[in-house]
Structure 1
Amino acid sequence: MAPPTPSASVSVSEEYRILVDKSYSKFSRLREFPPFGRNKWDTYYHKAFQVYSKLWKFQQENRQKLVETGLKRWEIGEIASRIGQLYYNYYLRTSDSKFLSESYIFYEAIMSREYFKDTGKDTTLANKQLRFYARFIVICLLLNRREMVHHLVRQFRVLVDDYCHSFQGNDSKEWKLVVQEIMRFMKADAPCDTSRPLRYSVLLDPAILPEVSSAESGKSLRLQDAILASYYHNEVKFSELTLDTFRMLQSLEWEPSGTLYRTKTVDTGSASGNGPTSLNKGSLQLQIPDPSLPPNPHKYILYRPTVPQLLLALATACEELSSDSILLLYISASGKPPRSSHTGNAGASGSDSHLDSPTEAPKTSGSHDSCIEPAQEQNGVLPGSHISSPRSTGDVVPGINSGGLWLGGKRSAGINFLYPSDLLPFTRRPLVIVIDSDNSPAFEVISGQERGESAALLLSPTLQPVDDRGSTATSSSANGGNLFSFFLTAPLLAFCRVIGVNSSTLPPGVYEQLEKLVSQLSSQWGDHLASSSTIHFTWSRILNDSFLRQLIFRFAFCRSTFCLHTLFRNKQEYIPRCLPVLPEEASPTSKILETGIFKLATRLGVIDQFVFTGPNAHTNGAVKVKAQSPPLSARSQATSTGGDISDGSWSDSSEVVGGTKTGSVIEGR
């Protein structure tokens, strides 16, 4: 075959460069859209995707000619990387996990074909390679591909070491911080390495699917949107994903179920390495993981937002909320002014776009604190508390001195301090508000002051028992994430963290048995709650939603655990609260919850850490354990995981297992 004429090669090369310029222009335009609202962005995304599809197909069909005119392998990798970013960003916009899988396919192909391998002494190409690895790590974390994450992190560390050895400058220091950031994140999230997926699984929890009659629930609501925001000084994070929001995000998605889970395989291409198969817009409509499952709730993941940004996202979500839906607002933040403006985490640029990132209030009836003895309630704050002001009273929304959350790193309130009253205008729509903060009681004033719809509030404790370092804050954001959020996303792992048991040391099969027990407990508790004649309509109308029903159970499980544990009980500031009040079936000392916790404590050999008030009260301190479990003071050193009870029995077995003590440059183009 005769070689191509120079004029033909030039024509192909020029057409390719025109497509590259056009696609890069579309890509850059997408970065200018805010991370909420879909109308204009959705249309523009499809235009950008069409251009990249055409570019990818063109370079495949004309690979030899383009190589002859100077096409480099890293340029192919750059195109594939941006297609992967488009898929990833579309996942962030829609919460449709099949797009996350599509993104993984492209990133895995880039890595296996080593498109960015030969960077030489070019600092620009070396940075592209490092950013690729950082983004791929985020995608693998979201897909729960733990083995691949560890593999990528090992390679990433080697590449960063080589980069720092070859290039001097600020970039080197920043990439070292990124390595420290991911290592810290993985260490904090290590308990989840061997646990069941945090996503809702119909295979593992088939009996939890809701069954609430329309007569009981009235107009049932489904979870359509969720806003997840977190800010703590020096909190565990990687890229723009904090540990708390990472866990909460997963708990609001469906786990692909068995054989129905299908992902598109990648054509390995010819010997020339043409890469992933060509794309077309129709591929967006394919590869549905499980058509029997409803869509995942749409999530707004706000990384260290200002208050105006949070309220804008909230307003957008309320505007787009359908009449049969409800919105979840989750905020994890401190009520105490930050010690200083945030200067750590220099590895992140703070870009709003994800395209270039990998990456003491009066006691209310709603608290249901039957485990608190009035004589032992404390009005003050323990030493070292993050609470800097007394709880407010009365019907007036408290001011900055008595209630609110800090969402920024500056001491002045300005745009960084969120008042409870800021949320009141949005209560014209149905809301579930989850506040994980040392100042969560300040938000109790929302209940009863709504502007149209009764809001459901789940509020964290303000303190937790003093540990071996003298800390009393509920926030463990600098170590392993917040304990309350941990209960809402991985209840068994959080239970192990409270009792100081490292579940990775449990005998084979025990972990699965304990997880099965928690699943059965959730199902049985949900049935009792759904059949209650005294349940408030605010709760009954959301029990048909699997995610919200699971969230309510985990809150009740958390509250019951704290009320029965010797280090938490009888202290109001250690107990989470909810408004409106849940019925007696959900009380901390209800028979179902207490029996379930008794089973877990007995199986794990920590019965001496709890004081039971119901039918199991006679066993307090009476069960002999094989090994004494450490107190809660060991929780910061525990690498805990979870487990199930596979036979499903509720027999009062006294078999126990002893516990053991255990110790941005990314956003660039």
Structure 2
Amino acid sequence: MTTSNDDVPTNFRSLVESAERKFAKVRDTAWYGRQPNHYFPKVFKSYMKLWEYQQKNRSKLVESGLQRWEIGEIASRIGQLYFVQYMRTSEARWEMVNLLLDRFSGLLHDSKSKFPDTTFKEWKVVMQEMVRFMKVDAAFLNTRPLRYCAMFDSHPKSLPYVARFHAKKVLKLRDALLMSYHRNEVKFAELTIDTFRMLQCLEWEPSGSFYQKQPVESHENGTTTDQSATSGLIDINLVADMTDPSLPPNPKKAILYRPSATQLLAVLASICDELPADSVMLIYIAASGESGQTTVPQKHISGSVRTSLKLNTVYEQPISLVNGKGGSSHPVESSIWLGPTRRGGSNNLYPVDLIPFTRRPTFFIIDSDNSHSFKVLHGAERGEPAALLLSPLKPTFKSQSSADIAQNGSQFTLFLTAPLRACWQMFGLAYSDDEVDVMEDAESIVSAAFSEWEVILCSLTSVDLVWAQVLSEPLLRRIILRFIFCRSVLTFFRRREENDPYLPVCFPELPDSVSPNSEVVQSAVMRLADHLKVSHCFRFDNL
């Protein structure tokens, strides 16, 4: 049955209203929790029907007054759906989100030219955030992906050792909470550059293409649809499978931006409650903080219960807080800031707030200028010993012009997600297409080192169970190897001040055979320094 010209605008408006009603039901869906939202497929199907209808009847709709911004609104909704689905499941196509953002940019510029008297203030802010966000790593677009890629991140020489390694307990990474906040930091919407890097680091690189762009599409009625970059249209299959069946599932991720402490703890409680028995939860928190001035007297840590008046809570405190010595004292009021207000209360997260969640296996990454106050978690766990990776208190740079966290993101996070990018930034090296061979050779040096360190870790019988139980998990094993690399590079860097504030720490300790003092670790850093021609920046006293 042929659709008349009068029916086309009416049908289109009806489809828009139907899609909008469905969209409203999923727009504010929580980005965490393991329970699937069965309503999402209905919303996707509704927008697929709307998108296809406007494609097939584009000329009639334009004649009836359809504006280009209305098509952009549909694309925006589709982008939001993909983004929410990606945040909830980690399985939606991030490339599709980027494609939609690219089309949105074209639509915005087109609208500004057609409506010069309209300010588009809010959209300008979105565009400025997007441009700033994508500019940070623009020079490294053609380098290795942040996501785990079997071609680059699995090492043939060490694979047999990894395959044979089996701890008394083996855990899988199933859930992660990611939170980052620094004033004026690079972000897009509520996704900061540090959170984005860590998010990508906890995913598998797809093996195939997940979308196709088709410049021109012909229809039965003889019309064509321009799908080029300037048309504002996207060839999108909303019912296509969003997962790569050849890869393990990505861990679920809850991404928070400027939450209150109670909101963050509530999300953690929800994740812990639903965490499968054979799983470990990763908690990544990157934020500024401050050290408290009050310390705990020895008599207060010799018992089993301590009271914090400011927190108005009572929590158990074991004798051994950090190093097993009851005489140690630690800041009571040390905290990190989850938001812009620094006067305590709902924006402050204290180390002891995280202790209840150690009833389940937990892998902590704390990236803060007050990270070392979280040492108190070690030995204070409530059931399962936790793994802790704590950032340096100060970043290390050859030139302080690179030290702006707001512009470049955190150095420690960059080491854990893209270690060679961190080195380039640390030494103030410029990267361009002419440096591809230099980068590839550097990647080979680092990959060889990681392979050797994997063999060592998987051959030892004395690795602490906290690390042993996650060595079989590729995503976490890669983070551990990168931590070893980060610690060694920062240890050997030549500086006038004492090293301690500039070094990351881990609890429990990793084996001495992969410490900065070991020859196998030192030699790898030396090879890389020689290759990058920055040996003068290091001090290798033990070789």
CA distance in 2, matches of 1:111, 1:176: 10
After superposition, the C-alpha distances for 1:631-655 in whole angstroms (9 at most, x for unaligned) are: xxxxxxxxxxxxxxxxxxxxxxxxx
Q: CA deviation at 1:517?
A: 0.8
- TM-score (normalised: structure 1): 0.67
* Amino acid corresponding to residue 225 of structure 2 in structure 1: G
Say which of 117, 126, 130 aligns to 2:110.
Answer: 117
Counterpart position of 1:232: 182
User: How big is the shift at 1:449?
Assistant: 1.5
Q: Distance in 1 between matches of 2:103 and 2:498?
A: 56
Q: Distance in 2 between matches of 1:570 and 1:330?
A: 27
Between the aligned partners of 2:56 and 2:136, the Cα distance in structure 1 is: 46
Q: Which residue of 1 aligns with 2:26?
A: 30
Q: CA deviation at 1:537?
A: 0.6
Asked if structure 1 preserves the Cα contact closer than 8 Å seen for 2:288 and 2:368, the reply is yes
Q: Who is 2:95 aligned against?
A: 101
Give the partner amino acid of 2:380.
Q
Q: How many residues align?
A: 503
How far apart, in 2, do the equivalents of 1:38 and 1:541 lie? 23
| Alpha-carbon distance between aligned partners in 1 of 2:296 and 2:499, rounded to the nearest angstrom | 14
Matching residue of 1:452:
383
Match of 1:251 in 2: 201
The aligned residue for residue 192 of structure 1 is: 140
* Equivalent position of 2:318 in the other structure: none
Query: Does residue 82 of structure 2 align to residue 87 of structure 1?
Result: yes
How far off its partner does 1:214 sit?
Answer: 7.0
Residue 218 (structure 1) aligned with residue 168 (structure 2) = yes
> 8 Å contact 1:438–1:475 — kept in the other structure?
no
User: For residues 404 and 395 of structure 1, do their structure 2 counterparts lie closer, same or farther at Cα, with a shift above 3 Å needed?
Assistant: farther
Distance in 1 between residues matched to 2:96 and 2:535, nearest whole Å: 47
Query: 1:540 is matched by which residue type in structure 2?
Result: A
- 1:175 is displaced (CA, Å) by 6.0
Amino acid at match of 1:425: P
* CA offset digits 1:510-550 (Å, max 9, x no partner): 22111111011111101101111210011011011111111
1:373-412 superposed matches below 5 A = 401=333, 403-412=334-343
Structure-2 residue corresponding to 1:348:
none
- Output the CA distance in 2 between the equivalents of 1:18 and 1:478: 45
Matches within 5 A, 1:173-212: 181-182=129-130, 184-186=132-134, 188-190=136-138, 192-207=140-155, 211-212=161-162
- Measured against aligned partners, the alpha-carbon deviations of 1:100-120 in whole angstroms (never above 9, x if no partner) come to 3344555667778x6983566
The 10-residue stretch of structure 1 (52-61 or 582-591) with the greater mean CA deviation from structure 2: 52-61
What are the superposed Cα offsets for residues 214-259 of structure 1, whole Å, 9 maximum, x if unpaired? 77412211211221111112223233222211221222222234xx
1:501 deviation in Å?
A: 3.5
Structure with greater proportional strand content: 2
Q: Secondary structure at the match of 1:269?
A: strand
Instruction: Check the 8 A contact 1:220/1:541 in 2, yes or no.
Output: yes
Q: How far apart, in 1, do the equivalents of 2:26 and 2:89 lie?
A: 15
- Note if contact 2:171-2:470 (Cα within 8 Å) is conserved in structure 1: yes
Change (3 A) 1:264 1:325: farther
What residue in structure 1 maps to residue 422 of structure 2? 494
- 1:27-54 CA-to-partner distances (Å, cap 9, x unmatched) read 12322222222536x2222222222233
CA contact (8 A) 2:371 2:392 kept: yes
Query: 1:106-159: CA deviations, max 9, x gaps?
Result: 5667778x698356665xxxxxxxxxxxxxxxxxxxxxxxxxxxxxxxxxxxxx
Q: Is the alpha carbon distance of 1:207 and 1:17 closer, same or farther for their aligned partners in structure 2, counting shifts above 3 Å?
A: same
The equivalent of 1:54 in structure 2 is 49
The alignment-based identity, stated in percent, is 42
Give unpaired runs (5+ residues) of structure 2.
227-232, 298-321
TM-score (normalised: structure 2): 0.81
CA separation of 1:395/1:611 partners in 2, compared to 1, >3 Å: closer, same or farther? Answer: same
Quote the offset at 1:436 in angstroms: 0.8
Instruction: Measure how far apart 1:479 and its partner are.
Output: 3.4
Partner Cα separation in structure 1 for residue 296 and residue 390 of structure 2 = 12
Structure 1 gap ranges (5+) = 123-162, 338-359, 363-390, 618-669
Counterparts of 2:26 and 2:496, CA distance in 1? 49
* Shift in alpha-carbon separation, 1:536–1:59, aligned structure 2, 3 A: same
Letter in 1 for 2:356: P
Matched-pair contact (CA < 8 Å) for 1:589–1:613: no
What per-residue deviation string (whole Å, max 9, x for no partner) do you get for residues 57-106 of structure 1? 44445555545544344333322332232123212221125x33344555
- Closer, same or farther in 2 for the Cα pair 1:57/1:520, shift >3 Å? same
Partner of 2:192: 242
Q: Closer, same or farther in 2 for the Cα pair 1:475/1:534, shift >3 Å?
A: farther
CA shift, 1:480, in A, is 1.8
Measure how far apart 1:565 and its partner are: 1.8
1:555 partnered with 2:483: yes
Q: Which amino acid aligns with 2:150?
A: V
2:429 & 2:414 partners in 1: Cα distance?
15
Report the equivalent of 2:443.
515
The equivalences for 1:136-151 within 5 A come to none
> Is 2:297 the counterpart of 1:297?
no
Distance 1:588 1:263, change over 3 A: same
Q: Which deviations, in whole Å up to 9, do the C-alpha atoms of 1:336-383 show, x marking residues without a partner?
A: 39xxxxxxxxxxxxxxxxxxxxxx999xxxxxxxxxxxxxxxxxxxxx
Superposed CA deviations along residues 182-217 of structure 1, whole A, max 9, x for unmatched, are 555455435534532222221123317764467741
Structure 2 CA distance for aligned equivalents of residues 330 and 272 of structure 1: 49
Determine whether 1:430 maps to 2:361.
Answer: yes
Q: Call closer, same or farther: CA 1:120–1:604 in 2, change over 3 Å.
A: closer
Given the superposition, is the C-alpha separation of residues 71 and 575 from structure 1 closer, same or farther in structure 2, using an over 3 Å criterion? closer
Q: Is the 8 A contact 2:165 2:472 kept in 1?
A: no
Amino acid of the residue matched to residue 146 of structure 2? L
Report the AA paired with residue 250 of structure 1: Q
Query: Cα distance 1:65–1:308, how it changes in 2: closer, same or farther (>3 A)?
Result: same
Question: Structure 2: how far apart are the matches of 1:306 and 1:293?
Answer: 35
